[in-house]
Chains A and B, each alone.
Chain A
Amino acid sequence: MNTDNKHKFIQLTEPFWHRLYNIALGYSQDRDVAEDWCQETLLRAWKNFTALQEHVAVYAWLLKILDRVVADDKRRSIRRNQIAPVILVDDVKLLSHPCSAAEPFKQLVSQQNHQQIMLAIQQLPDEFRQVVLLRDIDGLSYCEIADILELAKGTIMSRLSRGRRLLSSIIIKEQEKLTQAVSQHNSRITKNDYNSYRGN
Protein backbone atom coordinates (compact mmCIF):
# COMPACT_ATOMS: atom_id res chain seq x y z
CA MET A 1 0.00 0.00 0.00
CA ASN A 2 1.80 3.13 -1.05
CA THR A 3 1.09 6.79 -0.55
CA ASP A 4 -0.09 7.16 -4.15
CA ASN A 5 -2.74 4.57 -3.48
CA LYS A 6 -3.85 6.42 -0.38
CA HIS A 7 -4.13 9.68 -2.26
CA LYS A 8 -6.09 7.91 -4.96
CA PHE A 9 -8.40 6.49 -2.29
CA ILE A 10 -8.93 9.93 -0.74
CA GLN A 11 -9.47 11.50 -4.15
CA LEU A 12 -12.13 8.92 -5.02
CA THR A 13 -13.99 8.89 -1.71
CA GLU A 14 -13.67 12.46 -0.43
CA PRO A 15 -16.51 13.88 -2.57
CA PHE A 16 -18.89 11.54 -0.71
CA TRP A 17 -17.76 12.11 2.87
CA HIS A 18 -20.43 14.71 3.65
CA ARG A 19 -23.20 12.57 2.16
CA LEU A 20 -21.96 9.58 4.09
CA TYR A 21 -21.97 11.60 7.31
CA ASN A 22 -25.47 12.84 6.53
CA ILE A 23 -26.71 9.27 6.24
CA ALA A 24 -24.85 8.24 9.40
CA LEU A 25 -26.65 11.06 11.21
CA GLY A 26 -29.91 9.43 10.17
CA TYR A 27 -28.96 6.42 12.26
CA SER A 28 -27.76 8.39 15.25
CA GLN A 29 -28.34 12.01 16.16
CA ASP A 30 -25.16 11.87 18.21
CA ARG A 31 -22.55 13.61 16.07
CA ASP A 32 -19.68 11.78 17.70
CA VAL A 33 -21.25 8.42 16.92
CA ALA A 34 -21.95 9.45 13.31
CA GLU A 35 -18.36 10.67 12.94
CA ASP A 36 -17.05 7.42 14.41
CA TRP A 37 -19.11 5.43 11.93
CA CYS A 38 -17.81 7.52 9.04
CA GLN A 39 -14.24 7.01 10.15
CA GLU A 40 -14.74 3.28 10.64
CA THR A 41 -16.39 3.05 7.22
CA LEU A 42 -13.51 4.82 5.52
CA LEU A 43 -10.88 2.79 7.33
CA ARG A 44 -12.63 -0.45 6.38
CA ALA A 45 -12.99 0.86 2.84
CA TRP A 46 -9.27 1.65 2.74
CA LYS A 47 -8.42 -1.85 3.96
CA ASN A 48 -10.47 -3.29 1.11
CA PHE A 49 -9.49 -0.69 -1.44
CA THR A 50 -7.74 -3.22 -3.62
CA ALA A 51 -11.00 -5.15 -3.84
CA LEU A 52 -12.76 -2.13 -5.32
CA GLN A 53 -13.20 -2.63 -9.01
CA GLU A 54 -13.28 0.22 -11.47
CA HIS A 55 -16.87 -0.31 -12.51
CA VAL A 56 -18.28 -0.25 -8.98
CA ALA A 57 -19.87 3.03 -7.93
CA VAL A 58 -17.70 4.33 -5.10
CA TYR A 59 -20.55 5.89 -3.14
CA ALA A 60 -22.67 2.73 -3.27
CA TRP A 61 -19.64 0.79 -2.09
CA LEU A 62 -19.12 3.17 0.85
CA LEU A 63 -22.81 3.00 1.78
CA LYS A 64 -22.63 -0.78 1.81
CA ILE A 65 -19.72 -0.62 4.25
CA LEU A 66 -21.47 2.02 6.39
CA ASP A 67 -24.52 -0.25 6.56
CA ARG A 68 -22.34 -3.04 7.96
CA VAL A 69 -20.53 -0.69 10.37
CA VAL A 70 -23.83 0.58 11.78
CA ALA A 71 -25.25 -2.95 11.99
CA ASP A 72 -22.15 -4.21 13.81
CA ASP A 73 -22.34 -1.35 16.27
CA LYS A 74 -26.08 -1.61 16.84
CA ARG A 75 -25.93 -5.36 17.32
CA ARG A 76 -24.26 -4.70 20.64
CA SER A 77 -26.71 -2.15 21.95
CA ILE A 78 -30.14 -2.74 20.44
CA ARG A 79 -32.29 -5.71 19.66
CA ARG A 80 -31.68 -6.33 16.00
CA ASN A 81 -34.47 -8.68 15.16
CA GLN A 82 -37.24 -6.42 16.27
CA ILE A 83 -40.45 -6.92 14.34
CA ALA A 84 -41.23 -3.85 12.29
CA PRO A 85 -44.81 -2.68 12.90
CA VAL A 86 -46.93 -2.33 9.79
CA ILE A 87 -49.51 0.42 9.48
CA LEU A 88 -52.20 0.13 6.84
CA VAL A 89 -53.58 3.07 4.92
CA ASP A 90 -56.91 2.64 6.72
CA ASP A 91 -55.41 2.48 10.21
CA VAL A 92 -58.18 3.75 12.47
CA LYS A 93 -55.90 5.63 14.85
CA LEU A 94 -54.10 7.35 12.03
CA LEU A 95 -57.25 8.33 10.19
CA SER A 96 -59.02 9.55 13.31
CA HIS A 97 -56.40 12.24 13.81
CA PRO A 98 -57.31 15.62 12.29
CA CYS A 99 -53.74 16.00 10.94
CA SER A 100 -53.97 12.85 8.83
CA ALA A 101 -55.88 14.56 6.02
CA ALA A 102 -53.72 15.72 3.12
CA GLU A 103 -53.72 19.48 3.73
CA PRO A 104 -53.35 19.51 7.54
CA PHE A 105 -50.57 16.93 7.20
CA LYS A 106 -48.76 19.11 4.69
CA GLN A 107 -48.98 22.01 7.12
CA LEU A 108 -47.78 19.85 9.98
CA VAL A 109 -44.73 18.62 8.07
CA SER A 110 -43.84 22.15 6.98
CA GLN A 111 -43.75 23.17 10.67
CA GLN A 112 -41.23 20.45 11.56
CA ASN A 113 -37.62 21.48 11.84
CA HIS A 114 -34.65 19.39 10.74
CA GLN A 115 -34.06 17.93 14.18
CA GLN A 116 -37.68 16.92 14.72
CA ILE A 117 -37.78 15.10 11.39
CA MET A 118 -34.49 13.32 12.01
CA LEU A 119 -35.67 12.26 15.48
CA ALA A 120 -38.83 10.87 13.91
CA ILE A 121 -36.75 8.96 11.34
CA GLN A 122 -34.69 7.49 14.14
CA GLN A 123 -37.81 6.00 15.67
CA LEU A 124 -38.32 3.88 12.56
CA PRO A 125 -37.25 0.25 12.68
CA ASP A 126 -33.89 -0.32 10.94
CA GLU A 127 -35.30 -1.93 7.79
CA PHE A 128 -37.59 1.04 7.11
CA ARG A 129 -35.10 3.67 8.15
CA GLN A 130 -32.44 2.41 5.73
CA VAL A 131 -34.67 2.80 2.68
CA VAL A 132 -36.17 6.13 3.77
CA LEU A 133 -32.69 7.57 4.32
CA LEU A 134 -31.28 6.29 1.06
CA ARG A 135 -34.28 7.24 -1.06
CA ASP A 136 -35.75 10.39 0.47
CA ILE A 137 -32.71 11.96 2.10
CA ASP A 138 -30.03 10.80 -0.32
CA GLY A 139 -32.11 10.58 -3.50
CA LEU A 140 -30.86 7.19 -4.72
CA SER A 141 -32.90 5.15 -7.19
CA TYR A 142 -34.60 1.89 -6.20
CA CYS A 143 -32.05 -0.07 -8.23
CA GLU A 144 -29.13 1.59 -6.44
CA ILE A 145 -30.71 0.95 -3.03
CA ALA A 146 -31.46 -2.65 -3.97
CA ASP A 147 -27.81 -3.09 -4.90
CA ILE A 148 -26.52 -1.53 -1.68
CA LEU A 149 -28.85 -3.44 0.63
CA GLU A 150 -28.74 -6.57 -1.50
CA LEU A 151 -32.52 -6.78 -1.67
CA ALA A 152 -35.06 -7.10 -4.48
CA LYS A 153 -36.43 -3.89 -5.96
CA GLY A 154 -39.95 -4.92 -4.89
CA THR A 155 -38.79 -5.21 -1.28
CA ILE A 156 -37.36 -1.70 -1.43
CA MET A 157 -40.70 -0.43 -2.72
CA SER A 158 -42.78 -2.12 -0.02
CA ARG A 159 -40.39 -1.11 2.76
CA LEU A 160 -40.44 2.46 1.53
CA SER A 161 -44.26 2.52 1.38
CA ARG A 162 -44.50 1.10 4.90
CA GLY A 163 -41.65 3.23 6.21
CA ARG A 164 -43.14 6.50 4.95
CA ARG A 165 -46.56 5.52 6.33
CA LEU A 166 -45.06 4.72 9.73
CA LEU A 167 -43.05 7.94 9.65
CA SER A 168 -46.24 9.93 8.95
CA SER A 169 -47.90 8.34 11.96
CA ILE A 170 -44.84 9.02 14.14
CA ILE A 171 -44.84 12.69 13.16
CA ILE A 172 -48.58 12.92 13.89
CA LYS A 173 -48.15 11.19 17.26
CA GLU A 174 -45.26 13.44 18.23
CA GLN A 175 -47.38 16.46 17.34
CA GLU A 176 -50.18 15.11 19.49
CA LYS A 177 -47.82 14.65 22.44
CA LEU A 178 -46.55 18.20 21.99
CA THR A 179 -50.07 19.61 21.85
CA GLN A 180 -51.03 17.72 25.00
CA ALA A 181 -47.92 18.93 26.82
CA VAL A 182 -48.60 22.53 25.82
CA SER A 183 -52.25 22.39 26.89
CA GLN A 184 -51.26 20.83 30.25
CA HIS A 185 -48.68 23.55 30.74
CA ASN A 186 -51.21 26.25 29.87
CA SER A 187 -53.82 24.85 32.22
CA ARG A 188 -51.22 24.78 34.99
CA ILE A 189 -50.40 28.42 34.34
CA THR A 190 -54.07 29.35 34.38
CA LYS A 191 -54.55 27.50 37.69
CA ASN A 192 -51.54 29.25 39.23
CA ASP A 193 -52.78 32.61 37.96
CA TYR A 194 -56.17 31.92 39.47
CA ASN A 195 -54.66 30.82 42.81
CA SER A 196 -52.38 33.84 42.99
CA TYR A 197 -55.30 36.05 42.07
CA ARG A 198 -57.35 34.48 44.88
CA GLY A 199 -54.40 34.79 47.24
CA ASN A 200 -54.19 38.47 46.53
Chain B
Amino acid sequence: MQSKVSSENNPWQSLHLSLQDMLAGYIDNELTRQEREIIEAHLSGCHDCREDLLRQQTLSLALNDLPLKRLSKTYHQQLKQTILAAETTKIKLVRSKVTIFFDKLGPLFSKQNSLTIGGWVVACVFLVMFKFPLSYQLTLGNSEIPMLTDALTVYKQTQHQALPKIGLVQKDIAPITWREGKLLVSWSTKIGGEPAKVYAMRHHNEVVLQYKIDQTVFLRNPIVRQAIATQGFFKTELDNLAVLVLPSQNAGIIIISSRNLLPETEIIRRSSV
Protein backbone atom coordinates (compact mmCIF):
# COMPACT_ATOMS: atom_id res chain seq x y z
CA MET B 1 0.00 0.00 0.00
CA GLN B 2 1.29 3.36 -0.91
CA SER B 3 0.29 4.94 2.35
CA LYS B 4 2.59 2.63 4.25
CA VAL B 5 5.60 4.19 2.49
CA SER B 6 6.10 6.64 5.25
CA SER B 7 8.60 9.14 6.33
CA GLU B 8 7.63 12.08 8.49
CA ASN B 9 9.17 14.50 6.08
CA ASN B 10 7.72 12.88 3.03
CA PRO B 11 5.49 15.53 1.36
CA TRP B 12 3.18 12.82 0.06
CA GLN B 13 2.69 11.59 3.62
CA SER B 14 1.90 15.06 4.98
CA LEU B 15 -0.60 15.61 2.15
CA HIS B 16 -2.08 12.20 2.93
CA LEU B 17 -2.52 13.23 6.57
CA SER B 18 -4.07 16.61 5.87
CA LEU B 19 -6.47 15.32 3.21
CA GLN B 20 -7.89 12.75 5.63
CA ASP B 21 -9.66 15.61 7.38
CA MET B 22 -11.36 16.64 4.15
CA LEU B 23 -12.85 13.30 3.19
CA ALA B 24 -16.16 14.10 4.92
CA GLY B 25 -16.36 17.34 2.95
CA TYR B 26 -15.79 15.41 -0.28
CA ILE B 27 -18.68 13.04 0.52
CA ASP B 28 -21.00 15.87 1.54
CA ASN B 29 -20.12 18.03 -1.45
CA GLU B 30 -18.83 20.81 0.75
CA LEU B 31 -15.49 21.36 -1.03
CA THR B 32 -14.46 23.92 -3.61
CA ARG B 33 -13.71 22.70 -7.12
CA GLN B 34 -9.99 23.00 -6.52
CA GLU B 35 -10.17 21.02 -3.27
CA ARG B 36 -12.19 18.31 -5.00
CA GLU B 37 -9.58 17.97 -7.71
CA ILE B 38 -6.78 17.61 -5.14
CA ILE B 39 -8.75 14.96 -3.23
CA GLU B 40 -9.59 13.05 -6.41
CA ALA B 41 -5.96 13.06 -7.49
CA HIS B 42 -4.96 11.71 -4.08
CA LEU B 43 -7.72 9.11 -3.99
CA SER B 44 -6.62 7.66 -7.31
CA GLY B 45 -3.33 6.69 -5.73
CA CYS B 46 -4.29 5.97 -2.10
CA HIS B 47 -6.09 2.74 -1.34
CA ASP B 48 -6.50 3.46 2.38
CA CYS B 49 -8.18 6.83 1.78
CA ARG B 50 -10.51 5.24 -0.80
CA GLU B 51 -11.53 2.57 1.69
CA ASP B 52 -12.06 5.18 4.39
CA LEU B 53 -14.16 7.25 2.02
CA LEU B 54 -16.39 4.25 1.30
CA ARG B 55 -16.77 3.48 5.00
CA GLN B 56 -17.71 7.10 5.71
CA GLN B 57 -20.20 7.08 2.85
CA THR B 58 -21.81 3.85 4.10
CA LEU B 59 -22.04 5.20 7.61
CA SER B 60 -23.43 8.56 6.56
CA LEU B 61 -26.16 6.93 4.47
CA ALA B 62 -27.05 4.49 7.26
CA LEU B 63 -27.32 7.28 9.86
CA ASN B 64 -29.39 9.35 7.49
CA ASP B 65 -31.84 6.48 7.10
CA LEU B 66 -32.41 6.03 10.83
CA PRO B 67 -36.04 6.69 11.69
CA LEU B 68 -36.80 9.83 13.68
CA LYS B 69 -37.50 9.03 17.32
CA ARG B 70 -40.49 11.05 18.35
CA LEU B 71 -41.61 12.39 21.70
CA SER B 72 -44.51 10.43 23.11
CA LYS B 73 -47.90 12.12 22.75
CA THR B 74 -48.26 12.35 26.50
CA TYR B 75 -44.89 13.99 26.97
CA HIS B 76 -45.50 16.31 24.04
CA GLN B 77 -48.70 17.48 25.70
CA GLN B 78 -46.99 17.75 29.06
CA LEU B 79 -44.24 19.86 27.51
CA LYS B 80 -46.82 22.23 26.11
CA GLN B 81 -48.49 22.55 29.50
CA THR B 82 -45.13 23.18 31.14
CA ILE B 83 -44.38 26.02 28.74
CA LEU B 84 -47.83 27.47 29.21
CA ALA B 85 -47.37 27.31 32.97
CA ALA B 86 -43.82 28.66 32.89
CA GLU B 87 -43.33 32.19 33.99
CA THR B 88 -40.37 34.28 34.73
CA THR B 89 -40.99 33.95 38.43
CA LYS B 90 -40.17 37.08 40.27
CA ILE B 91 -39.47 36.65 43.91
CA LYS B 92 -41.21 39.16 46.07
CA LEU B 93 -40.11 38.89 49.65
CA VAL B 94 -41.51 40.48 52.69
CA ARG B 95 -39.09 43.15 53.77
CA SER B 96 -37.52 42.53 57.12
CA LYS B 97 -37.91 44.66 60.19
CA VAL B 98 -34.15 45.12 60.13
CA THR B 99 -34.00 46.42 56.54
CA ILE B 100 -37.02 48.66 57.09
CA PHE B 101 -35.32 50.06 60.19
CA PHE B 102 -32.19 50.89 58.21
CA ASP B 103 -34.30 52.32 55.37
CA LYS B 104 -35.81 54.74 57.85
CA LEU B 105 -32.40 55.68 59.10
CA GLY B 106 -31.21 56.26 55.53
CA PRO B 107 -31.86 60.00 55.27
CA LEU B 108 -29.86 60.57 58.44
CA PHE B 109 -26.70 59.53 56.65
CA SER B 110 -25.27 62.13 54.30
CA LYS B 111 -23.19 61.06 51.30
CA GLN B 112 -20.03 62.31 52.96
CA ASN B 113 -20.68 60.46 56.17
CA SER B 114 -21.88 57.26 54.55
CA LEU B 115 -18.39 56.13 53.56
CA THR B 116 -16.92 56.50 57.01
CA ILE B 117 -19.87 55.08 58.87
CA GLY B 118 -20.50 52.34 56.25
CA GLY B 119 -18.30 49.92 58.11
CA TRP B 120 -20.16 50.57 61.35
CA VAL B 121 -23.48 49.98 59.65
CA VAL B 122 -22.30 46.62 58.28
CA ALA B 123 -20.99 45.69 61.71
CA CYS B 124 -24.31 46.68 63.31
CA VAL B 125 -26.29 44.61 60.78
CA PHE B 126 -24.18 41.55 61.54
CA LEU B 127 -24.49 42.19 65.26
CA VAL B 128 -28.28 42.48 65.06
CA MET B 129 -28.56 39.39 62.87
CA PHE B 130 -26.51 37.20 65.13
CA LYS B 131 -27.77 38.61 68.39
CA PHE B 132 -31.45 38.69 67.44
CA PRO B 133 -32.33 35.98 64.94
CA LEU B 134 -35.54 37.68 63.88
CA SER B 135 -37.84 36.27 61.26
CA TYR B 136 -36.32 38.60 58.69
CA GLN B 137 -36.42 38.21 54.97
CA LEU B 138 -34.25 40.06 52.53
CA THR B 139 -35.43 42.03 49.57
CA LEU B 140 -34.45 40.40 46.32
CA GLY B 141 -36.16 42.65 43.84
CA ASN B 142 -36.33 40.81 40.53
CA SER B 143 -33.73 38.15 41.16
CA GLU B 144 -34.54 34.46 41.07
CA ILE B 145 -33.56 31.39 43.01
CA PRO B 146 -33.24 28.62 40.41
CA MET B 147 -34.09 25.74 42.77
CA LEU B 148 -37.37 27.46 43.66
CA THR B 149 -38.17 28.13 40.01
CA ASP B 150 -37.62 24.41 39.29
CA ALA B 151 -39.73 23.37 42.26
CA LEU B 152 -42.47 25.75 41.19
CA THR B 153 -42.47 24.33 37.66
CA VAL B 154 -42.99 20.84 39.07
CA TYR B 155 -45.77 22.14 41.31
CA LYS B 156 -47.50 23.75 38.34
CA GLN B 157 -47.15 20.60 36.26
CA THR B 158 -49.06 18.68 38.90
CA GLN B 159 -51.87 21.23 38.63
CA HIS B 160 -52.35 20.40 34.95
CA GLN B 161 -52.23 16.66 35.14
CA ALA B 162 -52.83 13.74 37.43
CA LEU B 163 -50.04 13.09 39.89
CA PRO B 164 -47.46 10.65 38.54
CA LYS B 165 -48.36 7.10 39.41
CA ILE B 166 -44.79 5.92 39.45
CA GLY B 167 -42.98 5.55 42.70
CA LEU B 168 -46.01 5.00 44.88
CA VAL B 169 -44.55 3.21 47.84
CA GLN B 170 -46.62 2.53 50.89
CA LYS B 171 -43.56 2.39 53.11
CA ASP B 172 -42.11 5.63 51.78
CA ILE B 173 -42.01 8.33 54.43
CA ALA B 174 -41.86 12.01 53.62
CA PRO B 175 -38.97 13.85 55.27
CA ILE B 176 -41.35 16.22 57.07
CA THR B 177 -44.56 14.80 58.47
CA TRP B 178 -47.47 16.35 60.32
CA ARG B 179 -50.73 15.07 61.70
CA GLU B 180 -53.09 16.16 58.92
CA GLY B 181 -50.61 15.44 56.15
CA LYS B 182 -50.95 12.15 54.31
CA LEU B 183 -48.40 11.00 51.76
CA LEU B 184 -50.13 10.29 48.45
CA VAL B 185 -47.28 9.56 46.09
CA SER B 186 -43.59 10.21 45.62
CA TRP B 187 -41.46 10.41 42.46
CA SER B 188 -38.05 11.46 41.27
CA THR B 189 -37.25 14.69 39.48
CA LYS B 190 -34.42 17.19 39.12
CA ILE B 191 -34.08 20.39 41.10
CA GLY B 192 -31.19 22.71 40.32
CA GLY B 193 -29.87 20.12 37.87
CA GLU B 194 -29.44 17.47 40.59
CA PRO B 195 -31.66 14.47 41.37
CA ALA B 196 -34.43 15.23 43.84
CA LYS B 197 -37.49 13.48 45.22
CA VAL B 198 -40.98 14.92 45.34
CA TYR B 199 -43.56 13.89 47.94
CA ALA B 200 -47.15 14.87 47.29
CA MET B 201 -48.99 15.19 50.60
CA ARG B 202 -52.70 15.57 51.07
CA HIS B 203 -53.31 18.38 53.55
CA HIS B 204 -57.02 18.91 54.19
CA ASN B 205 -58.41 19.11 50.66
CA GLU B 206 -55.29 20.31 48.91
CA VAL B 207 -51.99 18.92 47.81
CA VAL B 208 -48.78 20.13 49.41
CA LEU B 209 -45.54 19.23 47.64
CA GLN B 210 -42.38 18.44 49.56
CA TYR B 211 -39.06 18.19 47.74
CA LYS B 212 -36.01 16.49 49.12
CA ILE B 213 -33.17 18.18 47.26
CA ASP B 214 -29.43 17.84 47.00
CA GLN B 215 -27.54 19.63 49.75
CA THR B 216 -25.26 21.47 47.31
CA VAL B 217 -28.29 22.85 45.48
CA PHE B 218 -29.94 23.70 48.78
CA LEU B 219 -26.97 25.75 49.95
CA ARG B 220 -26.17 27.29 46.57
CA ASN B 221 -28.06 30.54 47.04
CA PRO B 222 -26.47 33.00 49.50
CA ILE B 223 -29.79 34.45 50.62
CA VAL B 224 -31.20 31.05 51.46
CA ARG B 225 -27.92 30.14 53.12
CA GLN B 226 -28.01 33.24 55.28
CA ALA B 227 -31.63 32.74 56.29
CA ILE B 228 -30.94 29.11 57.24
CA ALA B 229 -27.88 30.15 59.24
CA THR B 230 -29.72 32.80 61.22
CA GLN B 231 -33.27 31.57 61.64
CA GLY B 232 -33.16 27.94 60.57
CA PHE B 233 -35.50 28.28 57.60
CA PHE B 234 -36.24 30.41 54.54
CA LYS B 235 -39.75 31.47 53.70
CA THR B 236 -41.15 33.35 50.76
CA GLU B 237 -44.13 33.67 48.44
CA LEU B 238 -44.03 32.89 44.74
CA ASP B 239 -46.99 33.33 42.42
CA ASN B 240 -49.36 33.39 45.40
CA LEU B 241 -47.93 30.15 46.75
CA ALA B 242 -46.22 29.71 50.08
CA VAL B 243 -42.66 28.38 49.86
CA LEU B 244 -40.69 27.12 52.82
CA VAL B 245 -37.09 25.91 52.66
CA LEU B 246 -35.65 23.87 55.50
CA PRO B 247 -32.49 21.92 56.20
CA SER B 248 -32.66 18.19 56.69
CA GLN B 249 -30.11 15.46 57.30
CA ASN B 250 -27.61 15.71 54.38
CA ALA B 251 -30.31 17.30 52.20
CA GLY B 252 -32.59 20.27 51.85
CA ILE B 253 -36.36 20.38 51.94
CA ILE B 254 -38.62 22.68 49.95
CA ILE B 255 -42.33 22.79 50.74
CA ILE B 256 -44.81 24.47 48.41
CA SER B 257 -48.45 24.91 49.22
CA SER B 258 -51.33 27.32 48.85
CA ARG B 259 -50.64 30.54 50.68
CA ASN B 260 -52.81 29.89 53.71
CA LEU B 261 -52.14 26.17 53.89
CA LEU B 262 -48.54 25.83 54.92
CA PRO B 263 -48.45 23.84 58.13
CA GLU B 264 -45.91 26.32 59.33
CA THR B 265 -45.47 26.05 63.07
CA GLU B 266 -45.46 22.25 63.14
CA ILE B 267 -42.88 21.95 60.38
CA ILE B 268 -40.62 24.59 61.76
CA ARG B 269 -40.79 23.01 65.17
CA ARG B 270 -39.88 19.61 63.74
CA SER B 271 -37.13 20.97 61.55
CA SER B 272 -35.44 22.58 64.48
CA VAL B 273 -35.22 19.26 66.34
Which residues of A are at the interface with B, using a C-beta cutoff of 8 A?
1, 3, 6, 9-10, 14, 17-19, 21-22, 25, 35-36, 38-39, 42-43, 46-47, 72-73, 76, 88-90, 95, 100-102, 105-106, 109-110, 112, 114, 117-118, 132, 135-137, 139, 141-142, 153, 157-158, 160-162, 164-165, 167-168, 171
Contact B3 A90 (CB under 8 A): yes
The CA of A153 and the CA of B31, in the complex, are separated in Å by 10
Contacts of A46 in B (CB 8 A): 83, 86
Contacts of B46 in A (CB 8 A): 89
The CA of A18 and the CA of B59, in the complex, are separated in Å by 23
Extra 7 A-B pairs, beta carbons < 8 Å, given A89-B20, A90-B1, A102-B54: A17-B71, A89-B52, A137-B63, A142-B25, A165-B20, A165-B52, A168-B59
Given A114-B66, A161-B24, A161-B56, A43-B190 contact (CB < 8 Å)? no
Contact B58 A109 (CB under 8 A): yes
User: Is B168 interfacial (CB-CB < 8 Å)?
Assistant: no
Looking at the assembled complex, report how far the CB atom of A157 sits from the nearest CB atom of chain B, in whole angstroms: 4
The answer, among A72, A157, A171, for a CB contact under 8 Å with B30, is: A157
Contact A42 B17 (CB under 8 A): no
Contacts of A38 in B (CB 8 A): 71, 79
User: Is B97 interfacial (CB-CB < 8 Å)?
Assistant: no
Sort A-B residue pairs by CB-CB distance and give the 9 closest, nearest first.
A158-B21, A136-B63, A160-B24, A102-B54, A89-B52, A161-B24, A157-B25, A90-B48, A164-B56
The CA of A19 and the CA of B30, in the complex, are separated in Å by 23
Residue of A nearest to B55 (CB): A168
The CA of A90 and the CA of B49, in the complex, are separated in Å by 8
Looking at the assembled complex, report how far the CB atom of B211 sits from the nearest CB atom of chain A, in whole angstroms: 16
Which residues of B are at the interface with A, using a C-beta cutoff of 8 A?
1, 3-4, 16-17, 20-25, 28, 30, 46, 48-49, 51-52, 54-56, 58-60, 62-64, 66-71, 75-76, 79-80, 82-84, 86-88, 153, 190, 193-194
Contacts of A101 in B (CB 8 A): 51
The CA of A161 and the CA of B25, in the complex, are separated in Å by 8
Contacts of A95 in B (CB 8 A): 48, 51
The CA of A107 and the CA of B25, in the complex, are separated in Å by 24
Q: List 7 A-B contacts (CB under 8 A).
A: A1-B87, A25-B69, A42-B83, A102-B51, A106-B58, A117-B62, A136-B64
Looking at the assembled complex, report how far the CB atom of A71 sits from the nearest CB atom of chain B, in whole angstroms: 12
Contacts of B84 in A (CB 8 A): 3, 6, 10
Contacts of A6 in B (CB 8 A): 83-84
Contact B58 A105 (CB under 8 A): yes
Contacts of A89 in B (CB 8 A): 3, 16, 20, 23, 46, 48-49, 51-52
Contact A22 B51 (CB under 8 A): no
Contacts of B83 in A (CB 8 A): 6, 9-10, 42-43, 46
Contacts of B69 in A (CB 8 A): 18, 21-22, 25
Contacts of A142 in B (CB 8 A): 25, 28, 30
Contact B79 A18 (CB under 8 A): no
Given A39-B79, A90-B1, A90-B3, A105-B71 contact (CB < 8 Å)? no
Looking at the assembled complex, report how far the CB atom of A113 sits from the nearest CB atom of chain B, in whole angstroms: 10
Contact B24 A157 (CB under 8 A): yes
Residue of A nearest to B17 (CB): A88
Contact A100 B153 (CB under 8 A): no
Contact B67 A43 (CB under 8 A): no
The CA of A76 and the CA of B153, in the complex, are separated in Å by 22
